[in-house]
């Protein structure tokens, strides 16, 4: 009915969109604009910031120290994304081709971590990976077992088990980030694979291709939109990761978000923190721009 | 049909069960080399499952399938000498037409130059020459189907399987593709096995038709035999339009028979039925085999119907419904017994449809060799 069509009725449209618009402007656009302005300012005293239009903060951000941290953040995020893709693709395939009965449960298994607070999950992982954690205990038991078998067959026993350092290093950061971001990769991959017409796979098999070749030449290219979506949705939050490197990283594993946090809190240098923040945001914008400029992949199905 | 019927596909006592559901129930049939075989049946009758078992996408629960004498048990789809054209065509959307057609050849290790020649040849065969660089999303449904055909034919399979090949096309294109598929099959000489629920499609294309009902073969016959000599009520009713009347066999001799139908009256035949005397049988009579007359033509009608040795096939009724279909007019007639019968009448002249109208009293006759007596 015409009078119920809110798209053509401007007042209704305004009434519907106003709260959202208000929310976005007051809680997103305005604060971001303030931070953006701060990035062109300088500290005058403890709490006073003079927005003088200086570019010194950006100049300082190009110092070698910060460039390396940016670079490292990219490298870590890229590695995390790659591992998520390699681990996530078979998982997504398994869910797609699982029986009707199993699929909701498997998806639930992927989603379940979302229902738990990130901090709780991170601490849980730390308990697992600690020097007295289950990972080390398990490895220790294997070590002792091997040693025992060796003595059993008359060989020298292995030296005493020294717990492996699994926490507070770069490994822990990558491990923790993969753990946190894997669902972000699996879900878009699953969505893409689920849309895939099964008869395309059967056609490939019918024409003589084996399973591996069918996956590489048919499934992966047709899941490309899902792969791109998964990569973006993993790479961008991983790039801005703060909690995981803060809690699980060592002194040398800080990422750009940790540096930004330090500027706002410990160093009390808001203008520089703001400049770093916006550089990170620009980098993310650039990624999204590159992605949307890619040649459109033909629609599946 | 080939002169020497050599079976290329032998389906032997094949059953397929999905849990408690029996999709295919102890089917045995041979498909001959070089023939155009059609599996015809209503949706859910198991015909597609049967086709997918030949292709290797489903495994028989019982029984075995032989292709060219070789047992297919344990042989995966990519190792079978058959290729399939899928209902959705399954043309790879990210590859050009040429890449689609070359896909199987490259996997088979055919050399580059030969691939190009064979792709061009296959595309020419399906009248898609010059479309090599097109992407599937730039093509119509009919063209995509030709790509799927070329992609399978280029592999030179022993058998080409087609799953409802024409169901997604509009009526005009479907009729055209029916002819083209038959032509193509004759040209390449490959055995075609097609699944369809459309009886027109089956009748027009097939050398032989296997009618499948509830997972079993209801009848295996040539198109004309299927239509003119249906083996049972299911086939008579599923293939074409038919009037079926229940009756009792009262006379059955080598050269004549009679069935007493409460609905239609006494039906005389000029051949024997070889059924038990007094048995419950069904008489099937096609609408186009009934002649319609205006009242007053009675004597001529009786004379025309005198071919039955023991009486003549004659009935009277009143027109209760008419549908003018252009080439024919379909009449629904209420007989004097109260039963209804459908009669079709060709419009041989431009004014034939004016001969009758609603509530007209009419008489009918049919030849003594027209009714089919069905025992089941």
Domain harbouring A219, CATH code? 1.10.3720.10
Is A52 contained in some domain?
A: no
pLDDT value of position A50:
87
On chain A, the residues whose CB falls within 8 A of the CB of B76 are 205
Predicted confidence (pLDDT) at residue A300 exceeds the cutoff of 70:
no
Predicted confidence (pLDDT) per residue in B149-166, tens digit: 999 999 999 999 999 998
pLDDT value of position B313:
87
Average pLDDT of span A30-57: 90
On chain A, the residues whose CB falls within 8 A of the CB of B145 are none
Closest residue in A to B102 (Cα–Cα): A207
Asked if B283 contacts B274 with a C-beta cutoff of 8 angstroms, the reply is no
Largest CA distance in chain A: 91
Task: Kindly give the residue spans of alpha helices, DSSP state H, lying in chain B.
Answer: 47-55, 97-107, 112-125, 141-153, 171-188, 199-205, 223-228, 233-238, 298-304
B83: nearest CB among A200, A206, A213: A206
Is A8 contained in some domain?
A: no
Measured over the CA atoms of residue B184, residue B186, residue B188 and residue B189, the dihedral's sign is positive
Whole-prediction pTM value?
A: 0.82
Average pLDDT of span A266-284: 92
- Mean pLDDT is lowest, of A167-176, A288-297, B11-20, for A288-297
For β-strands B372-374 and B82-85, DSSP reports them as: unpaired
Collapse the DSSP code of A134 into the 3-class scheme (helix H, G, I; strand E, B; otherwise coil) and give the result.
Answer: helix
Taking CB atoms and an 8 Å limit, are B107 and A207 in contact across chains?
Answer: yes
pLDDT value of position B4:
65
Mutate to test the interface with A, among B94, B141, B195 (most CBs of A within 10 A): B94
Is A13 contained in some domain?
A: no
Distance (Å) of CA B253 to CA A296, B10, B273, B277: 76, 38, 8, 10
Q: Which residues contact B281 (CB under 8 A, 6 or more apart)?
A: B246, B247, B248, B249, B259, B273, B275, B373, B374, B375
Asked if B253 contacts B272 with a C-beta cutoff of 8 angstroms, the reply is yes
- Mean pLDDT is lowest, of A154-158, A187-191, B190-194, B222-226, for A154-158
Q: Residue A154's pLDDT band (boundaries 50, 70, 90)?
A: confident
Distance from CA of A199 to the nearest CA of B (A): 6
Taking CB atoms and an 8 Å limit, are B136 and A301 in contact across chains?
Answer: no
Taking CB atoms and an 8 Å limit, are A202 and B88 in contact across chains?
Answer: no
Bridge partners of residue B195, in order along the sequence: B39, B163
Q: Residue A7's pLDDT band (boundaries 50, 70, 90)?
A: low
Q: Does A281 touch chain B (CB under 8 A)?
A: no
Structure token pair of residue B87:
């209902």
Taking CB atoms and an 8 Å limit, are B103 and A213 in contact across chains?
Answer: no
B84: nearest CB among A206, A221, A299: A206
Predicted confidence (pLDDT) at residue A296 exceeds the cutoff of 60:
no
Taking CB atoms and an 8 Å limit, are B93 and A199 in contact across chains?
Answer: no
Q: Which residues contact B296 (CB under 8 A, 6 or more apart)?
A: none
Closest residue in B to A224 (Cα–Cα): B94
Q: Does A297 touch chain B (CB under 8 A)?
A: yes
For β-strands B7-18 and B70-71, DSSP reports them as: unpaired
On chain A, the residues whose CB falls within 8 A of the CB of B57 are 202, 205
pLDDT value of position B114:
95
A·B CB contacts under 8 A: 70
A298: nearest CB among B94, B152, B155: B94
Average pLDDT of span A50-73: 92
Measured over the CA atoms of residue B132, residue B137, residue B138 and residue B143, the dihedral's sign is positive
Is A39 contained in some domain?
A: no
Distance from CA of A47 to the nearest CA of B (A): 59
Taking CB atoms and an 8 Å limit, are B77 and A205 in contact across chains?
Answer: yes
Q: Cβ-count burial of A12 within 10 angstroms (0-12 exposed, 13-18 middle, 19+ buried)?
A: middle
Predicted confidence (pLDDT) at residue B86 exceeds the cutoff of 90:
yes
B86: nearest CB among A203, A299, A300: A203
State whether ipTM is beyond 0.95. no
B129-143 CB burial, b ≥16 within 10 A, e <16: eebbebebeebeebb
Structure token pair of residue B106:
């490259």
B92: nearest CB among A200, A210, A297: A200
Q: Residue B2's pLDDT band (boundaries 50, 70, 90)?
A: very low
Rounded Cα–Cα distance for residues A219 and A194 (Å): 11
Predicted confidence (pLDDT) per residue in B91-150, tens digit: 999 999 999 999 999 999 999 999 999 999 999 999 999 999 999 999 999 999 999 999
**Structural domains of chain A, count:** 1
Closest residue in B to A202 (Cα–Cα): B57
Average pLDDT of span B312-332: 92
On chain B, the residues whose CB falls within 8 A of the CB of A294 are none
Q: Residue B297's pLDDT band (boundaries 50, 70, 90)?
A: low
Q: Cβ-count burial of A223 within 10 angstroms (0-12 exposed, 13-18 middle, 19+ buried)?
A: buried
Q: Residue A14's pLDDT band (boundaries 50, 70, 90)?
A: confident
Residue B64's closest CA among B12, B29, B23, B8?
Answer: B12
Average pLDDT of span A295-299: 50
Rounded Cα–Cα distance for residues B81 and A256 (Å): 59
On chain B, the residues whose CB falls within 8 A of the CB of A199 are 86-88, 90
Domain that holds residue A196: 65-130+166-296
Asked if B247 contacts B282 with a C-beta cutoff of 8 angstroms, the reply is yes
DSSP, res A160: P
Distance between alpha carbon B235 and the CA centroid of its chain, in Å?
10
Is A85 contained in some domain?
A: yes
| Helices and strands (DSSP H and E) totals, chain B | 9, 20
Q: Does A5 touch chain B (CB under 8 A)?
A: no
DSSP letters, B120-141, are HHHHHHTT-TT-TT--GGGS-H
Residue B321's closest CA among B344, B291, B352?
Answer: B344
Q: Does A162 touch chain B (CB under 8 A)?
A: no
Rounded Cα–Cα distance for residues A185 and A178 (Å): 10
DSSP, res B287: G
Predicted confidence (pLDDT) per residue in A192-237, tens digit: 999 999 999 999 999 999 999 999 999 999 999 999 999 999 999 9
On chain A, the residues whose CB falls within 8 A of the CB of B107 are 207-209, 213
Is A183 contained in some domain?
A: yes
Is A60 contained in some domain?
A: no
Rounded Cα–Cα distance for residues A36 and A31 (Å): 9
Q: Does A210 touch chain B (CB under 8 A)?
A: yes
Is A87 contained in some domain?
A: yes
Rounded Cα–Cα distance for residues B314 and B320 (Å): 19
Taking CB atoms and an 8 Å limit, are A298 and B135 in contact across chains?
Answer: yes
Mutate to test the interface with B, among A192, A208, A215 (most CBs of B within 10 A): A208
Q: Residue B339's pLDDT band (boundaries 50, 70, 90)?
A: very high
On chain A, the residues whose CB falls within 8 A of the CB of B19 are none
pLDDT value of position B310:
67
What percentage of chain B has pLDDT greater than the value 90? 73
Structure token pair of residue B100:
């689609």
Average pLDDT for chain A: 90
pLDDT value of position A82:
97
Neighbours of A265 (CB within 10 A): 9
């Amino acid at each position: 009915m015409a009078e119920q069509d809110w798209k053509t009725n401007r007042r209704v449209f305004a009434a519907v969109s106003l709260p959202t618009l208000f929310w976005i402007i007051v809680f997103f656009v305005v604060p971001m604009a303030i931070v953006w302005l701060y990035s062109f300012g300088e500290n005058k005293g403890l709490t006073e910031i003079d927005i003088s239009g200086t570019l010194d903060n950006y100049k300082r951000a190009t110092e070698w120290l910060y460039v390396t941290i940016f670079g490292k953040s990219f490298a870590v995020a890229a590695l995390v994304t790659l591992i998520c893709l390699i681990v996530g693709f078979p998982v997504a395939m398994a869910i797609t081709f699982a029986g009707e009965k199993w699929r909701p449960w498997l998806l639930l298994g992927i989603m379940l971590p979302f229902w738990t607070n990130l901090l709780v999950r991170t601490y849980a992982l730390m308990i697992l990976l600690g020097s007295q954690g289950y990972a080390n205990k398990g490895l220790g038991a294997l070590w002792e077992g091997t040693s025992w078998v060796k003595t059993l067959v008359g060989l020298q026993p292995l030296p005493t088990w020294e717990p492996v350092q699994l926490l507070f290093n770069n490994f822990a950061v990558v491990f923790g980030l993969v753990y946190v971001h894997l669902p972000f990769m699996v879900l878009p991959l699953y969505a893409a694979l689920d849309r895939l017409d099964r008869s395309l796979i059967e056609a490939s098999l019918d024409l003589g291709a084996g399973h591996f070749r069918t996956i590489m030449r048919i499934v992966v290219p047709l899941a490309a939109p899902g792969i791109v979506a998964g990569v973006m949705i993993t790479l961008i939050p991983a790039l801005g990761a703060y909690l995981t490197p803060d809690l699980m990283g060592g002194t040398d594993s800080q990422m750009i978000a940790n540096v930004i946090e330090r500027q706002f809190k410990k160093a009390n240098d808001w203008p520089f923190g703001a400049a770093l923040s916006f550089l990170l945001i620009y980098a993310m914008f650039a990624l999204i721009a590159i992605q949307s400029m890619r040649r459109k992949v033909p629609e599946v199905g | 049909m080939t002169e020497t019927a050599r079976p290329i596909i032998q389906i032997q006592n094949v059953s397929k069960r999905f849990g408690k559901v029996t999709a295919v129930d102890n089917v045995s049939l041979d498909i001959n080399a070089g023939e155009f075989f059609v599996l015809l049946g209503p949706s859910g009758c198991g015909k597609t499952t049967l086709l997918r078992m030949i292709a290797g996408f489903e495994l028989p629960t019982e029984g075995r399938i032989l292709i060219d004498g070789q047992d297919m048990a344990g042989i995966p789809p990519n190792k079978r000498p058959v290729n399939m054209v899928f209902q959705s065509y399954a043309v790879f959307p990210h590859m050009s037409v040429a890449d689609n057609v070359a896909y199987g050849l490259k996997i088979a290790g055919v050399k580059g130059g030969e691939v190009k020649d064979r792709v061009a040849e296959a595309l020419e065969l399906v009248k898609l020459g010059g479309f090599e660089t097109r992407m599937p999303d730039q093509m119509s449904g009919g063209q995509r189907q030709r790509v799927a055909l070329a992609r399978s034919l280029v592999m030179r399979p022993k058998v080409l399987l087609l799953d409802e090949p024409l169901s997604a096309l509009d009526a005009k294109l479907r009729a055209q593709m029916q002819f083209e598929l038959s032509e193509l099959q004759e040209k390449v000489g490959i055995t075609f096995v097609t699944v369809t629920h459309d009886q027109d499609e089956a009748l027009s294309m097939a050398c032989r038709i296997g009618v499948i009902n509830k997972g079993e073969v209801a009848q295996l016959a040539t198109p004309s035999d299927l239509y003119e000599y249906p083996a049972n009520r299911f086939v008579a009713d599923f293939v074409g339009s038919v009037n079926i009347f229940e009756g009792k066999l009262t006379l059955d001799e080598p050269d004549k028979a009679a069935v007493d139908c409460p609905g239609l009256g006494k039906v005389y035949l000029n051949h024997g039925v070889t059924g038990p005397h007094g048995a419950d049988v069904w008489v099937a009579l096609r609408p186009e085999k009934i002649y319609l007359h205006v009242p007053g033509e009675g004597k001529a009608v009786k004379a025309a119907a005198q071919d039955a040795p023991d009486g003549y096939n004659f009935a009277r009724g009143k027109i209760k419904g008419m549908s003018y279909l252009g080439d024919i007019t379909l009449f629904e007639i209420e007989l004097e017994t109260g039963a209804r019968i459908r009669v079709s009448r060709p419009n041989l002249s431009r004014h034939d449809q004016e001969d009758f109208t609603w509530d007209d009293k009419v008489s009918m006759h049919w030849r003594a060799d027209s009714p089919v007596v069905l025992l089941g």
